[in-house]
Amino acid sequence: MKIGVRRWIEAKDHPLSYRVEDKMRLSRDKTSLVVNPSLTLAGIPAEAAVVEVSRAGTGDGMVVRAFENGAYRLRTASGKTASVQATALPAPTTIEGPWTLAFPPGWGAPEHVTLEDLVAWNEHPDDGVKYFSGTATYAKDLRIPARLLSVNRRLWLDLGEVKEVAEVKLNGKSLGILWKQPFQVEITGAAREGSNRLEIEVTNQWINRMIGDERQFPDDCAWRTIARARTGGELLEIKELPDWFADWTSGKGPRPSGRFTFATTKFYSAADELAPSGLLGPVRLIAAETMEIPVAK
């Protein structure tokens, strides 16, 4: 059976009925239709897809993957209907701390810190964390109960809010890079009952380390004004490369000021606000139930 844009999906327990082309997207492998998780629908949380519909492996049936308990009805363009009900889905589980957050050497941050709760790097009391720019790794041991990995169950990891990019690894297996909302990835194939090692590598922007240099270290370049910045200040350009530059970039000598970043234009000042950075969460496990609906021609 072909899946056309005039197919309808109705969530019987929710006050909504919508057309595929308005509220759904085609999956990456072109085999299924997924509720667009970025849309806010009555009675349905915006952060998670509620139902996914795909063609069954055999016959004319359809597979419904539900992320919430409730009754779901499929109506084809010819008017045929079929329904299925999910009743045993557990509620999403929030992954609490503590988290170990490790930083690479040479960028002013501590080797690692322990976070009882997720907090933005720019709000951390340690200046090395507050001004860090680059990639840092969150790690913790995670226990997954058997009920989340039972037959016909699929398991997803939802990172909540991330600033800016994350790579998820479970038990040493990379599950991909997430760079936009929703920051969600399926972990079924890598998860196991009991103890699991979860690692999340998060990369932010250069802004905070550049602002940190302005706040923490003396200037070591000569500048000239080239324009007025939109914020009302001056946009500065370097007059010439300083004497220390060649040795510093070739690893032959230290930078006298102790700064970590270098640019030929001064984009930020000590007065600028730091950018939210890191894994902000909440991090959750979300289970889905897979059910097949036979649909008559």
Residues 6+ apart with CB under 8 A from 39: 23, 46
CA atoms 159, 163, 167, 170: torsion sign = negative
Hey, where are the domains in the chain? 8-87, 93-206+277-286, 207-266
Residues 6+ apart with CB under 8 A from 182: 37, 38, 47, 48, 158
Inform me whether the pLDDT recorded for 6 exceeds 50. no
d(CA 178, CA 8): 30
* 39: helix, strand or coil: coil
Q: What superfamily does domain 93-206+277-286 belong to in CATH?
A: Galactose-binding domain-like (2.60.120.260)
Helix (H) or strand (E) holding 154: strand 153-158
Segment 95-109, tens digit of pLDDT: 999 999 999 999 999
- Mean pLDDT of the chain, nearest integer: 81
Segment 182-200, tens digit of pLDDT: 999 999 999 999 999 999 9
Of 174, 105, 104, whose CA–CA distance to 136 is shortest?
Answer: 104
What are the φ and ψ backbone dihedral angles of 30, each rounded to 5 degrees?
65, 15
Segment 107-164, tens digit of pLDDT: 999 999 999 999 999 999 999 999 999 999 999 999 999 999 988 889 999 999 999 9
Of 23, 79, 71, 33, whose CA–CA distance to 54 is shortest?
Answer: 33
pLDDT value for 164: 96
pLDDT value for 3: 31
pLDDT value for 72: 75
In the structure encoding, which two tokens stand for residue 270, read together?
A: 């000590």
Q: pTM above 0.85?
A: no
Inform me whether the pLDDT recorded for 49 exceeds 50. no
